Amino acid sequence: MLLRVRRGWEIPESGVTPESVFWNRRRLLGAMGTMPALAASPALAMSVRRAVPAATDGDFAADLYPAPRNPRYEVNRPLTDPELATGYNNFYEFGSYKQIAKAARALELRPWTVTIDGLVERERTLDAEELIRRMPLEERVYRLRCVEAWSIVVPWTGFPLRELVAFARPLSAARYLRMETFLDPEMAPGQRASWYPWPYVEGLTMAEATHELAFVATGIYGRPLPKQNGAPLRLAVPWKYGFKSIKSIVRFTFTAERPETFWSLIAPHEYGFWANVNPEVPHPRWSQAEERPLGEPGRIPTRLYNGYAEFVADLYAGLADEPLFM
């Protein structure tokens, strides 16, 4: 992931948020962590939502937020401070540093079309707004564990990826779902770096794509996604390292062949296709045993499948020969 410049974990937390501001917010978020749902207190929920910046030319289907929380997907850890989750990001299209939000303002969200193609009954391209409005929006609290060993807990708004798969009506020959981010080097300066295999591509097996946990996020903290988090729609697959959760998707392609993915093309011995979280399988250059929750002092143990083993372990029965954890 980190091939040039300094590593993500070398950026001090003080570079993210001034300490006094941070600790004031901790009081608010500490209170939130004990609440069953973000919407339990309208005033609190509103103040959290206000911390998420609006995408000035974006905010697709804003009237649909906040969506109802699905209680099946809760995490027994406090939510990450929204200013950290929206202020400490990976979005290589705009640069390889974490405070990418300002540079990501250059992302033009309108018009934004999403193409569904490949092994489907009928290929089609539709406006992101139309797609989002067709889907059943809900809120889910998920963990996100970056391969760089930092982590967050955030309430995503969005819809199950399997709803999109059902809408796409794939043919029986489809075995994988390939997802692609926009390609526009004029708009996104990171894409002028020719040593990266742009556009960013990720993929899932059909079993993964139709698993109940696979989610397309369109919002965060009860608001439409800000650009730096991957507006207008991005993937959230919480049992996998964060790089699988591709941002700002423009194309979903159903294929028979396993897609080549962005990071596995760059560093195949470090970042694989599967990328399931496993604390016992170190990255070639660092341990994955622990993680640093953004905004919290110290580290916590990382869990197998990022804490989602009971949901997903069955997906990988019989695949022991595959490099499932890189």
Binding site for ligand MTE (CB under 6 A): 1, 89-93, 144, 146, 152, 181, 200, 229, 242-243, 245-248
Helix (H, G, I), strand (E, B) or coil at 116: strand
Give min distance, CB of 190 to ligand MTE, in A: 8
Minimum gap (Å) between residue 160 Cβ and ligand MTE: 19
Q: How many angstroms separate the CA atoms of 118 and 110, rounded? A: 25
Residue among 119 and 244 whose Cβ is closer to ligand MTE: 244
| Structural contact between residues 162 and 209, judged by C-beta atoms closer than 8 angstroms | yes
Closest distance of CB 179 from ligand MTE, Å: 9
CB of 96 to ligand MTE, least distance (A): 8
Q: What is the CA radius of gyration of the chain?
A: 19
At 143, which helix (H) or strand (E)?
strand 138-145
The residue among 142 and 254 lying less far from ligand MTE, judged by its C-beta, is 142
d(CA 101, CA 112): 19
For the CB of residue 86, give the shortest distance to ligand MTE in the complex, in Å.
Answer: 8
The least distance separating ligand MTE from the CB of residue 317, rounded to whole angstroms, comes to 27
Q: Is the Cβ of residue 22 or residue 41 nearer to ligand MTE in the bound state?
A: 22
Question: Closer to ligand MTE at the Cβ: 128 or 152?
Answer: 152
Q: In the bound complex, what is the minimum distance in angstroms from residue 163's beta carbon to ligand MTE?
A: 21
Whose Cβ is closer to ligand MTE: residue 93's or residue 129's?
93
In the complex, the smallest distance separating the C-beta of residue 178 from ligand MTE, rounded to whole angstroms, is: 13
User: What is the SS3 assignment for 318?
Assistant: coil
Assess contact for 230 and 217: CB atoms under 8 A: yes
The residue type at 272: G
| Residue 122 or 269 having the CB closest to ligand MTE | 269
Sign of the alpha-carbon dihedral angle for 2, 7, 9, 14: negative
Helix/strand/coil for 19: helix
In Å, how far are 38, 97, 126, 264, 314 from 154, measured between CA atoms?
A: 11, 21, 28, 26, 25
Residue nearest to ligand MTE (CB): 242
Token couple for 252: 């979903």
Give the nearer residue to ligand MTE in terms of CB position, either 98 or 119.
98
b/e code 221-251 from CB counts within 10 Å (16+ = b): bbbbbbbbbbbbbbbbbbbbbbbbbbbbbbb
Alpha-carbon distance 75 to 33, whole Å? Answer: 9
Residue 119 vs 292, nearer CB to ligand MTE: 292
